[in-house]
Amino acid sequence: MSNPTTTSDPILPEVKMNLAPPSAPITGRVVSNDMCLKGKSNSYVRHTEIDITGTAIAGNFIVGQSFGVIAPGVDEKGKPHKVRLYSIACPKWGEDGQGNVISTTPKRVLEEYKPQKKTDDQIRHTLFIGVCSNFLCDLNPGDEVQITGPAGRRFLLPANTADHDYIFLATGTGIAPFRGMVKELLENPEGPCKSQIHLVMGAPYDTDLLYDELFADFATKHDNFHYHTAISREIRPDGSRGIYTHHCIDEKIETFRPLLENERTLIYICGIQGMQTGLYQVLATNGLSDAYLTIADDWADLNPKDWPWAEIKRNVRPTPRCMVEVY
């Protein structure tokens, strides 16, 4: 167990790591690979289930961890493709109840080529197709996948889940671990967790929401589960502009304040790099940052609304009660 620094800090469970290293990946077999977007969208995101029965990882992962995938073939230097990480989207008992089927939420990286450094071709603008995300999304039931891991020991549910309440904030495929965590909390074979659970899912358009039906269904069945959506690029019915996940917390601060003031509460943030900074400002502006953030001394007198955006990551750090996984 990791040592908490205050009584309200979460005690995280021990985890197993790197049971299958990149030098000796295990072979999984795809069980299903279905779209998990709410509607027609500019992006392509799937829910991929992989059977790992009989391998070192079976039954030895927990939600919040990731696994690695090695796409077949070689890169432009002729070397085998490097491992890419994908968040586990199922509870620790897997999709099958036995820990033998893991899942994740791959999103195809499909863009126009953009030079990343000075030596890259500056005029090329052909289609850029991400190697591993497209490999995963292309797979059919029965296909084999080389898997490593598990990886990650910090972005985890606490060992005793009933001791805490939860605010989960996701953008895009950052929803993957929260699908697993919400299932772990509400579908526990020993009975659903009674803690307060708020999930805020951010997406550009309503049709980009992931696993929307699942979460809406949980919200109707469990009074303690609250599903919020933050749609950024659509005008809202009252004519106001779209919002990001942190705006959702700010707008509903009177709902969230008692929860954020309660020492049981943990915040989890997963998704696009930078999504955490808006939330940090909202917490600090509302006088709610003490438990969740450590702010640099020379920033103490600054109005959080004036924090220079590019410097937030360096001067504001999450405490153990605020867990961040952005990529």
Ligand X SMILES: Cc1cc2nc3c(=O)[nH]c(=O)nc-3n(C[C@H](O)[C@H](O)[C@H](O)COP(=O)(O)OP(=O)(O)OC[C@H]3O[C@@H](n4cnc5c(N)ncnc54)[C@H](O)[C@@H]3O)c2cc1C
Residues lying near ligand X in the complex (CB under 6 A): 66, 84-87, 104-107, 109, 111-114, 116, 128, 130-134, 173, 176, 325, 327
> Closer to ligand X at the Cβ: 131 or 214?
131
> Closer to ligand X at the Cβ: 114 or 194?
114
Q: In the bound complex, what is the minimum distance in angstroms from residue 223's beta carbon to ligand X? A: 29
Q: In the bound complex, what is the minimum distance in angstroms from residue 257's beta carbon to ligand X? A: 31
> Closer to ligand X at the Cβ: 176 or 295?
176
Give the relative orientation of helices 175-186 and 212-221 as an angle to the nearest 10 degrees.
Answer: 30
300-309: string of b/e by CB count within 10 Å (b at 16+)? eeeebeebee
Q: What is the largest distance, in Å, between two alpha-carbon atoms of the chain?
A: 59
Side-chain-side CA neighbours of residue 128 (13 Å): 11
Q: Which of 143, 137, 177, 150 is nearest to 47 (CA)?
A: 137
> Closer to ligand X at the Cβ: 101 or 288?
101
Q: Which of 267, 240, 204, 184 is nearest to 39 (CA)?
A: 204
176 touches 325 (CB < 8 A): no
> Closer to ligand X at the Cβ: 86 or 93?
86
Q: Which of 199, 16, 176, 178 is nearest to 99 (CA)?
A: 16
Residue 12 has what DSSP assignment? Answer: P
Beta bridge partners of 316: 295
Whole-number Å distance between alpha carbons of 204 and 222: 27
Q: Give me the residue whose beta carbon is nearest to ligand X.
A: 130
Q: In the bound complex, what is the minimum distance in angstroms from residue 131's beta carbon to ligand X? A: 4
Q: State yes or no: cis peptide before 150, omega within 30 of 0.
A: yes
Which residues are CB-contacts of 138 (< 8 A; sequence separation ≥ 6)? none
Q: In the bound complex, what is the minimum distance in angstroms from residue 215's beta carbon to ligand X? A: 16
> Closer to ligand X at the Cβ: 128 or 309?
128
> Closer to ligand X at the Cβ: 175 or 282?
175
Whole-number Å distance between alpha carbons of 318 and 327: 16
Q: In the bound complex, what is the minimum distance in angstroms from residue 16's beta carbon to ligand X? A: 16
Q: In the bound complex, what is the minimum distance in angstroms from residue 317's beta carbon to ligand X? A: 19
Q: In the bound complex, what is the minimum distance in angstroms from residue 130's beta carbon to ligand X? A: 2
> Closer to ligand X at the Cβ: 74 or 235?
74
CA distance to 149, 209, 325, per residue, from 42 (Å): 31, 12, 24
Q: In the bound complex, what is the minimum distance in angstroms from residue 216's beta carbon to ligand X? A: 21
